[in-house]
Structure 1
Amino acid sequence: MEFSSKQEEKHYYQHIASEQEFLEWYKNQEHPMYQKPSVTVDMVLLCYNKNTDQIKVLLIQRRGNPYRNSWALPGGFISPNESTGDSVIRETKEETGVTISEKNIEQLHTFSTPERDPRGWVITVSYLAFIGEAILSAGDDANQARWFSLERKNNRLYLTSGDTKIILDLKTQASLGEDTLAFDHSQIIIKAFNRIVNKMDHEPQVLQVLGDTFTITEARKVFAKFLGVDYHSIDHSNFKKSLIGFLKEVGERPASIGRPSKLYQLKENFREK
């Protein structure tokens, strides 16, 4: 079929032709009418060490440019044949050696600020997951992978591993000091942190960092970490009353002194108290 102008051709395939004809035409255009961004995924992966009473976040050190040698969240570009969820599971495994599943992950936010990536127009879909502390093995685009302890002090988050300390300001959503995160990963971590704090009371999936079973005291300690307070300041009885609807009792943990502690786990439908 011949057309007298590009505009006439465009009108025909958009408004008259079948969808199959339109798609065949569209894919063959040298200059598509809409520019296409690249799409990446980023994972905020959190765990809790009961022995040291520390919340930790998983970071990788980038092997190549841009931001070579900077610390960043695990992630990367998605492939044409996978969803963003499948991609973040694959990228996390490739870069850190940690295996997560669809049951672990929660979509956090889409970050699309222009120039957020110096390579061009790149949109990222971020995810949040809670697991037990796992052994790491860096690979793919990472020099190394580390668990960074995450501590809240007033309106700042301190991410620490060895001599590396990254400070994030909850108000400005920026990195402070010499060590900074790559891209806009400071904003992504802060977004995840605020999501957890805002949902703890009615969707306490953050307790997944405690593993299959936990005590009320251990749950108080996790909540206290995100609130930036001493867990003793959270009243045990009131806390238990507010949380018990999301939990089921599954046994007891023997104590060396005194009564054993009751063990709980999150109900499968914990989102519906």
Structure 2
Amino acid sequence: MQFASKEEERYYYEQVASQKEFLTWYKRQDLPNYPKPSVAVDIITLRYNRELKKVEVLLVQRNKNPWRNKWALVGGFLQPYEDLKEAGIRKIKEETNLALKKEQFKLLSPWSSPKRDPRGWVISCPLLVELSPKDETVDLSAEAHKYHYHWYALAELSEVDFASDHGQILSYALETLTTRLQTQGLSAMEQLLGVFTMKDLQVILEQLLNKKIHYSNLKRTFQDQLELAAPPRLKKHVGRTPAYFKVKK
């Protein structure tokens, strides 16, 4: 089909032609004119280490460029026509052998600085995952990757040499979690808490909020959000078993 001008051609395909005709034209004519960023997921994986009484985040030490020997969030590039949470499920499974579900991933705002990655234009879409007690023992022996993994306590993160902007992404994710905690209550970290004692709750809040929490105020502050729960199976417990709670639905 011949057109007198580019404007006439565009008008025809956008406002007269069928959608099938438009898409054929668009992929040939317009689509190549738009630079394409790569899209990656970076996964903030949190757990509460009940033995050490610490909130921890999973990091991996890169063994190749870029950022060789620096510490990064678990993640990677999307495959064609894969949605963000599907990519998160795949990368966690590949790198830790942990099988998670879509509802365990919370999508955070993307990081889109065009110079954040020396390989090119890469947009990072952070995903926050709170491991429940049944998931918190992660198998880090996946054969597909020979990276060095480590669970870092929140108090240790200031000493970590991060890859790219991953330290900033992690700080942003923790700030988002604490903001949701203040606006949504304990439901914002229901997975992380699992079944817990009031002492567990005190420790987790102190480490997330980075401030002292008075134990005596906890139950009164959160009493409307708690319900009694059966104690988990304990390896060994000396003395009286404390009361256990879960977040009320």
State the TM bucket, normalised to the shorter chain.
Answer: 0.7 to 0.9
Tell me which residue corresponds to 1:197. Answer: 178
Structure 1 residues 245 and 4, CA gap change in structure 2 (3 angstroms) = same
Q: How many residues align?
A: 240
Which residue, 209, 212, 217 being the options, matches 1:227?
Answer: 209
Matches of 1:27 and 1:82, distance apart in 2: 20
Give the deviation of 1:140 after TM superposition. Answer: 4.4
5 Å-filtered alignment, 1:68-83, equals 68-83=68-83
> Which of structures 1 and 2 has the larger relative contact order (alpha carbons within 8 angstroms, sep 6+)?
2
Which residue, 244, 247, 265 being the options, matches 2:246?
Answer: 265
Give the deviation of 1:73 after TM superposition. Answer: 0.6
Matches of 1:225 and 1:4, distance apart in 2: 68
5 Å-filtered alignment, 1:174-189, equals 180-189=161-170
More deviation, 141-150/53-62: 141-150
Q: Gaps (5+ residues) in structure 2?
A: none
Matches of 1:214 and 1:122, distance apart in 2: 39
- Confirm whether residue 250 of structure 1 aligns to residue 229 of structure 2: yes
Give the deviation of 1:264 after TM superposition. Answer: 1.1
Tell me which residue corresponds to 1:214. Answer: 196
Q: Gaps (5+ residues) in structure 1?
A: 152-157, 167-179
Q: Which is helix-richer, 1 or 2?
A: 2
Asked if 1 retains the 8 angstrom alpha-carbon contact of 2:41 and 2:125, the reply is yes
How does the TM-score come out when normalised to structure 1?
0.79
Asked if 1 retains the 8 angstrom alpha-carbon contact of 2:96 and 2:138, the reply is no
Give the deviation of 1:139 after TM superposition. Answer: 5.2
Matches of 2:243 and 2:41, distance apart in 1: 39
Structure 1 residues 12 and 142, CA gap change in structure 2 (3 angstroms) = farther
Q: Identity of counterpart residues, as a percentage?
A: 36
Give the deviation of 1:7 after TM superposition. Answer: 3.5
- Confirm whether residue 150 of structure 1 aligns to residue 144 of structure 2: no
- Confirm whether residue 137 of structure 1 aligns to residue 141 of structure 2: yes
The alignment yields a C-alpha RMSD, in angstroms, of 2.4
Asked if 2 retains the 8 angstrom alpha-carbon contact of 1:92 and 1:99, the reply is yes
Q: Which is strand-richer, 1 or 2?
A: 1
- Give 4+ residue runs of structure 1 displaced > 3 Å after superposition: 4-7, 138-142, 251-258
Matches of 2:142 and 2:11, distance apart in 1: 51
Give the deviation of 1:111 after TM superposition. Answer: 0.5
